[in-house]
Amino acid sequence: MSTRLSRWAKRQMPSREQLEQSRFTRGLARRSELWRLTRRSVPRGVAIGLLVGIFALIPGVQIVGAALMCVPFRANVPIAAGMTFLSNPVTTPLILAGSLYLGNLLGFHADIAALTTLYSKGAGVGEWAAWLLSDAAPALVLGLTIISVAAAAIGYFVTSFVWRHLVMRRRQRRLILYRMLDPAE
């Protein structure tokens, strides 16, 4: 399953050469540190992707926002773009409900039942705007902020730990192989 998913992702993602041909993305494509997998750039990319992906919740804005945030933080752009896909049509209602619940816990009064009703009946832009102009907007924004910052921090630390663990395992294997091949010892 993971090989099929990685092959699909490679086919869908533009190459660095294709990005260099576009005048809008030429600057990103020429900065090689944004594309390398290093111990610092990968966790930063994960954190930025989670932060923007959960907070923005608008599909086109997520990837562009994550890529632009990668520039000043020297994070890995493909990793950040991939992590924005955590918020998808399946997880978005859960993220919204969790952020409203969190906003309610912090003193705002957003009606979660109204959110589910609007979502299930396929409400129009006017109905969504009226709902957001109520007391729901501060609860939603505060909840999304807390959830996205927490997810970014957790993603950063977990990725750093996993990266370090993988590097240490590789070094141990090389050391064992070196000891086996070295007849001097």
All structural domains of the chain with their residue ranges: 31-181
What pLDDT is attached to residue 122?
81
Give the highest mean pLDDT range of 19-23, 56-60, 82-86, 149-153.
Answer: 149-153
Residue 114 pLDDT more than 90?
no
Query: Count of CB atoms within 10 A of residue 130's CB?
Result: 12
pTM: 0.77
What pLDDT is attached to residue 120?
83
pLDDT tens digits for 147-166? 999 999 999 999 999 999 99
Residue 16 pLDDT more than 80?
no
